């Protein structure tokens, strides 16, 4: 056989570098312009190489996208694990999960669109879901523990977990991705909402309309 399969090709250091270069550039383009509108020709032109280079490192455009997806999910998950460490408190683990996700999405803003797009196309949705479910399973465990300990109110752990994920995603998308705010600040808000919800604490009885709406004592 003339050539080995792309998958079983042994790359030199220079080869790995090119591969990285292709993946990074493609990620940017996919995120900015979308997967389909970004052609292979555009990608190779962007880093100034011939088309053959692309197909030396990836067997298809689709495979490249799946690879990018896989790597991003892995990295996000790794960031979470590292931040959570061996924290024993389940509530605190959830908080750390939110904060690390926000931080990671803050640096890597561009991958947001990729996740979002992947969910909308038959070919990519399964891969995205597989990764997402694995990550969600971790969080569900923390929630379950929290319920058992009586720290988290009773309810379906999967529902609660997804609610937390929803808050995190939406706040990240709107305030980090669209408005460019700092991840740490957004994380504070997300944590507060997830823990306390909307309601004002019952210790402060409902005030008659017209009183100062802000914190009373500065």
Residues lying near DNA in the complex (CB under 7 A) are found at: 4, 9-12, 14-15, 18, 36, 38-42, 44, 48-53, 55-56, 59-62
Closer CB to a second copy, residue 104 or residue 115?
115
* Alpha-carbon gap, residue 75 to 110, rounded angstroms: 14
- Decide which of a second copy, DNA, none touches 18; Cβ closer than 5 to 8 Å per partner kind: DNA
* Alpha-carbon gap, residue 25 to 7, rounded angstroms: 21
Q: How far is the CB of 109 from a second copy (least distance, A)?
A: 13
Round the CA-based radius of gyration of the chain to a whole number and report it. 22
- Decide which of DNA, a second copy, none touches 154; Cβ closer than 5 to 8 Å per partner kind: a second copy
H or E stretch covering 6: none
Q: Spell out the residues 6+ positions from residue 183 whose beta carbon is closer than 8 angstroms to its own.
A: 102, 103, 105, 106, 172, 176
Footprint on this chain of a second copy (rule: CB under 8 A): 32-37, 91, 94, 113-114, 116-117, 119-122, 129, 143, 146-156, 159-160, 162-171, 174-175, 178, 186, 189-190, 192-201, 204, 206-207, 209, 211, 213-215
Of 143, 142, 154, 135, nearest to 73 (Cα)? 135
């Amino acid at each position: 056989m003339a050539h080995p399969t792309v998958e079983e090709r042994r790359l030199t250091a220079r080869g790995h570098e090119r591969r990285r270069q292709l993946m990074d550039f493609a990620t940017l383009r996919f995120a900015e312009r979308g997967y389909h509108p970004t052609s292979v020709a555009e990608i190779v032109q962007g880093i100034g190489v011939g088309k053959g280079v692309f197909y030396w490192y990836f067997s298809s455009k689709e495979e490249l996208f799946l690879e990018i997806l896989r790597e991003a999910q892995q990295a996000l998950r790794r960031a979470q694990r590292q931040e959570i460490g061996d924290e024993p408190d389940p509530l605190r683990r959830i908080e750390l999960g939110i904060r690390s996700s926000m931080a990671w999405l803050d640096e890597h803003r561009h991958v947001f669109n990729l996740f979002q797009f992947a969910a909308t196309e038959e070919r990519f949705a399964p891969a995205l879901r597989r990764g997402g479910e694995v990550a969600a399973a971790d969080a569900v465990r923390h929630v379950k523990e929290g319920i058992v300990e009586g720290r988290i109110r009773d309810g379906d752990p999967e529902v609660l977990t997804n609610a937390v994920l929803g808050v995190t995603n939406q706040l990240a998308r709107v305030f980090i991705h669209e408005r460019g705010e700092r991840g740490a600040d957004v994380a504070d808000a997300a944590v507060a909402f997830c823990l306390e919800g909307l309601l004002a604490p019952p210790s402060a009885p409902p005030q008659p309309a017209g009183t100062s709406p802000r914190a009373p004592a500065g």
